Each structure stands twice: as C-alpha cells, then as structure tokens.
A and B are shown apart, each in its own frame.
Chain A
C-alpha cells in the first residue's frame, strides 16, 4: 500500500481552478520529487494535500485514510508535515518572524502531548545544532539558510510519516543548499517519506527515488527519478 495515493484530483482556490485530474502514488520511505515550471500548480497540490486548498473532486489517501475532506489539523494528526514555500501562496513566510526560534517550534507542536513535544523539540534542535545556539533569537533575525532549517524542524515536530517540502533551497547559496539537501536525506533515513518540490532539478533528481513533472495543473511525468534528466525535463516542460 502506498503512503500517499492521489486519484483524479481537481482542486484550486475558491472558484479558481488549478489542478486537473492529478493521480499519483508515493511509496513509503522514498524521496519523491515534484518538478515543473513556476505556476504549474506544485504548491497548490501540496496545499490540497494539507487541507489548505479547495477540492472539487477526486481523492487523497494517506496511510490508508481518506483525507480529502479533512481539516488541516486532522491531516497533521494522520501524519502529514508541511514546510510551505516562502513566501507561500498566501504571501507569508514559512516561519513566524516575531517569535523566537524556540517559540516557532512550540507553535509547530500544537496538539502534541507536552512530553512528546519537548522530546521532539530537543530532537529538532539536535538535528540542527545551529538552531540550538539561536533558540532565543527572533526568527526574523535568522539568515535564509537558518530560516529553512527552522521551517524544516517545525515540519518535523509532529513526527510525520510524510514530510512535504516546498522549495526549501530557494534563494540559498550553493553551500547552504547542499546542507539542506543532506538534511533531507537524513530525514528520509529516519524513516520519513519525503515529497519535495524543487527548482534545482539536477540536485533534486540526484537525491530523489521517484519524480513527477507538472505543467499547467496536469501531470506530465511519473516514474523513477533516474530515468529523468534535465534535458528530458526540458522537453517535457516545452510539451514535446
């Protein structure tokens, strides 16, 4: 049984239709990368899974549970973590700028019992030692890389089965970006399935097991990541 199964999904924002008949599956323990040009609807697909978009028809099943009509908090409980793009489709960053690093993590652990939340918090700070040093600093004073580390840690606070990451390396220096990619690998090695949206297709295909390509709200490719390269991706996007 796949961890994530999407069937014939049509979704958007209110009356604004974005996704057209998307069907895809992500297996447990893999890194699935979702590629495509700007405006293709990648973030909208993640929003739809997270319960933040309007779903017109189709279904989304996570770990055998139908979450198509569930609320964001129910979806989180079922085991979906979401690190939004920054800025996201609602125009806000993927952290709470006015809160300290530690408070950001506390906010991300809402609904988790106190002792489990504290454990997750220590684990998150352990995964990114830099954050531990900065834990009492307001998030708005962090660098771009530190912000992404924080956002990823926040996505992990509820120990998700599936972690969705939307362009976590956007705007980062190459060195910092490769730190983020290796963090993503270690999260996968913790047994967490990853659905990763990336602009850096070469790097993403390197760490990915499976790849999807979306263009204007439709799925153009679904298959092993190693059978896709930048040239083929270019042709898919140009519609050849």
Chain B
C-alpha cells in the first residue's frame, strides 16, 4: 500500500538533497567547461576544499560543530574554494593554455591537480589529528545544520539546500545578464578572439570566473559533507555523477547542468527504492542508473538539455 509519509522520507526528501548537491556542483564544472574548455578532474576537490575549510574554521572557533554553525562557515568555504580554483587557473591551466595545450593535455593536467589537492588535504588531515587532536576523518556536517522543531535534519537540509541553490542561481543570472561584467563574460565565452580584438582582457575574465566556480563549488562541499563522510575523497567520489549531470545538461548551459543534477539525484533515489531494493541488489549498483541515463542522452539528444532548449528557441 502506498504510504505518503514513507514516500516523502525515503524518496522525495533524499532526492531533493541529492539533486541540489549535484546541481550546485555542476554549476562550477559547466562554467569551467564553457570558459576555459577544461573537463576538470580536480573539480570535485574544490568541494572537498570547501568542506575542509568549514571543518577547520568551526573547530578553530568552537572546537566542534554546533547546530546551524555551517552557515557561519559558508563564506569561508566559498573563499577557500575560490582561492584554490583561482590558483589552479593562474598557476596551472592559464600557462598551459598560453602554450597551446590541447583539451586532452589540460584534462591530464587536471588529473595531476586532483592528486595535488587530494594530497594536501590528506596531509592537513594528519596534521590536524596529531597536533590538535581534531578528528577530521569521516566527519559529517549534519550536526551543523540548523534545527527546526518538528522537522528532521534531512527535511531541513532539503529546504536549506534548495534555498541556497536558488539564491546562487538568481545571483548568477543577475551577474550574467544584468551587469556589464556579465555581458563581457558572455562575450568572451561566445567569441574570444573578437573579445580580445575589442580590448577585453579575456584571461582576466576567465580568472574571475574561476573565482566564481570555486566559491559555488566550495559551498556545494558543505552540503556534500551533510550526507557523505568528509574525507579528502569527498568531492572525488562525487565527480563521475557531477560529470553525468553536466553532460546530460548539455555542457553549454549552467541551467542545463542544474536540470542534469536533478535528473541524477532523482534517478538515483528512485532507482534505489524501486529497482535495487525490490530486487535485493547491492547499493553499489545505484551508479548504474545515472550512467544509463547519460548513455541514453548521448544517443538520443547528443546536445543534452541545453541543446533541446536551444532547439525549442529556434522554432
């Protein structure tokens, strides 16, 4: 018999939380791709950086994680993500692009960058443990979520992550469409040689977009840390599905990636509840469902959701 309460708790709430996490993380990866054309394997690590910054900030300030405190740390997560993303662009990708590196070479470089960030986080981990006795391993931010009487932590997170996602999308929409910088940024993405000829410093525009990429992804890291254990693998383990969201979204539109994130989130949760569970399949198969969707997308609508939206506009 259909139970509304179970459906809400086992399906709707987790699906919203998962979807928001993948949507938030896909925004930065889509921007990485449309600005500098890098399918970055270090993207997930920006989320881990945000989560680690949150963790250290809260431990430094309160010696632990108190209810609601992650929102105090959110600007710190954004700053840390932004700083690491900016340094990645300025220190690694920009010099390589200037030397004419191909997409493949940039992709391999991003792989190297992943191991670098990963390694630094692991080292920080052991320093924090031996020196301060802070146990960063397998921590969860769920205790740092705000508490609302009568609502479970998951329910609250479904609400807060939706609000944060909407605020970020609104801010990006405003930035891109209502400000001069946004126009210049879209111009640089649309036609970089012409932008240069018109005196636009395209590399500077890209550097600023990497700040935005890092900030948004750092915030995504906090929400990842609410449902997945915070380790240096926090972002890396999510990366395949972030790629799925971005590819299903069409690689060319931030909003397409967000819809892609929702498709990933819902398909995972629905698949788990209605396919894997009834068939007694282990949860590891959960990943198979989003990947089946991405293969179907590539076969049926190679341009993804953004392509479908553009095709509709043309008619």
Contacts and interface: CB of A to CB of B under 8 A. Distances in A.
Contacts of B183: 99, 103, 106-107
Nearest to A88: B193
Nearest to B252: A98
Contacts of A106: 180, 183
B196 A52 contact: yes
B199 A97 contact: no
Interface stretch (A70-78, A173-181, A191-199): A70-78
Interface stretch (B49-57, B84-92, B184-192, B295-303): B184-192
A95 B193 CA distance: 10
A84 B187 contact: no
B194 A111 contact: no
B195 interface: yes
Given A99-B183, A106-B183, A111 B190 contact: no
A2 B26 CA distance: 54
A91 B195 CA distance: 13
A94 interface: yes
Residue among B184, B186, B193, B200 with the most chain A CB within 10 A?
Answer: B193
Interface string B167-209: 0000000000000100110110011111111111100000000
A92 interface: yes
Contacts of B190: 96-99
A111 B186 CA distance: 16
Given A99-B183, A103-B187, A110-B184, A88 B199 contact: no
Interface residues of A, number: 29
A98 B186 contact: yes
Contacts of B184: 107, 110
Contacts of B187: 96, 99, 103-104, 107
Nearest to A86: B194
Contact of B186 (A52, A99, A108, A110): A99
B201 A73 contact: yes
Prevailing SS type, chain A contact patch: loop
Given A103-B183, A103-B186, A107-B183, A96 B199 contact: no
Contacts of B192: 92
Contacts of A154: 198
B199 A76 contact: yes
Interface in A84-123: 84, 88, 90-99, 103-104, 106-108, 110-111
B147 to A, nearest CB: 45
A238 B187 CA distance: 41
A94 B194 contact: yes
B193 A92 contact: yes
A159 B160 CA distance: 49
A95 B198 CA distance: 10
A18 interface: no
Contacts of A99: 183, 186-187, 190
A148 B180 CA distance: 23
Contacts of B198: 72, 76, 82, 107-108, 110, 154
A99 B184 CA distance: 10
Nearest to A75: B199
Contacts of B193: 52, 84, 88, 90-92
30 contacts: A52-B193, A52-B196, A52-B197, A72-B196, A72-B198, A72-B199, A73-B200, A73-B201, A76-B199, A77-B199, A82-B198, A84-B194, A84-B197, A88-B193, A88-B197, A90-B193, A92-B191, A92-B194, A93-B191, A93-B194, A94-B194, A96-B186, A96-B195, A97-B191, A99-B186, A103-B187, A107-B184, A107-B187, A108-B198, A110-B180
Interface of A: 50, 52, 72-73, 75-77, 82, 84, 88, 90-99, 103-104, 106-108, 110-111, 154, 158
Given A52-B197, A72-B197, 5 more contacts: A75-B199, A88-B193, A92-B193, A96-B187, A96-B190
